Amino acid sequence: MDSLRAKKGYICDMDGVIYRGDHLLPGVKEFVQWLYRENKKFLFLTNSSRRSPKELRQKLAAMGLDVGEEHFYTSALATAKFISRQSPGCSAYVIGEPALFQALTETGVTVYKAEDTAVEANPDYVIVGETDDYNYRNICQAIDYVFNGAKLIGTNTDLTAPLEHGIGPACRALLAPIEATTGRYAYYIGKPNPLMMRTGLKILGVHSEEAAMIGDRMDTDIIAGIESGLDSILVLSGVTSREIMKQYPYRPRLVLEGVGDIPEE
């Protein structure tokens, strides 16, 4: 625990670590106060491409937690950064929410949305993120572009997402019909892809050994930390129990009930 408290930087997953549904988890306010008091560098990192940093800030503010926009990093931002570096000035057909369109546009990508009927040429990429605006015509259009050579990108590999009443399809499930029909497989950007972790460390300005990754999922957060050289901390406040944890061939460095355990008494 002392070595965890001595880290310079913290990359924290959000859902199941900071909040659950519309409620902050116990001890989160104290943890964030501790981060500020100790002058720690920190980033709230989410695989969801639904919300912009501004919207995430508002979401937390509504729960009574004030965290600046600069502390949020999303798979939409990571995707935009990756695409714009791979092919500056490229174009993309995008199935997603406004936060994803915005992130891509800001890095100079020409974005075509489902409602754009006049796509002049075949776009360089088809990019899919979570969205409620998903239908048969969009899928057919995306398939057409992939058959014509567009590269297929997913913002994250999450298969399921918690809904208010049950479980819904997340990014990878939305890509499944496009992958199955075309026989092409998407490149996925979010955790556990080390791309996103490395960028997170760069934003914080700390080396991987000086940072910890805190999350509630073994197959994204914990493995991402391990593979990127950060200490991985599992919190039991989300989807993983000690029993589930034991089913994986790798272990977190530390297991905590929640982030509220981190500040010194």
Smallest separation, CB 160 to Mg ion (Å): 12
Which residue of the set 15, 216, 221, 231 is catalytic?
15
Question: What sign has the CA pseudo-torsion 26, 32, 33, 35?
Answer: positive
Whose Cβ is closer to Mg ion: residue 211's or residue 259's? 259
Smallest separation, CB 45 to Mg ion (Å): 10
Whose Cβ is closer to Mg ion: residue 216's or residue 261's? 216
Whose Cβ is closer to Mg ion: residue 130's or residue 216's? 216
CB proximity list for 109: less than 8 A, separation 6 or greater: 80, 83, 84, 89, 90, 91, 92
Smallest separation, CB 78 to Mg ion (Å): 16
Which residue of the set 13, 158, 216, 231 is catalytic?
13
66 is catalytic: no
13 is catalytic: yes
Residue 55, φ and ψ in degrees, nearest 5: -70, -35
DSSP letter for 132, please.
S
- Measured at CB, which residue is nearest to Mg ion? 16
- Long-range pairs of 226-230 with CB within 8 A, sequence gap ≥ 24: 226/250, 227/192, 227/194, 227/197, 228/194, 228/197, 228/198, 228/201, 230/11, 230/197, 230/201
Whose Cβ is closer to Mg ion: residue 46's or residue 52's? 46
Site of interaction with Mg ion (CB under 5 A): 13, 15-16, 216
Active-site positions read: 13, 15
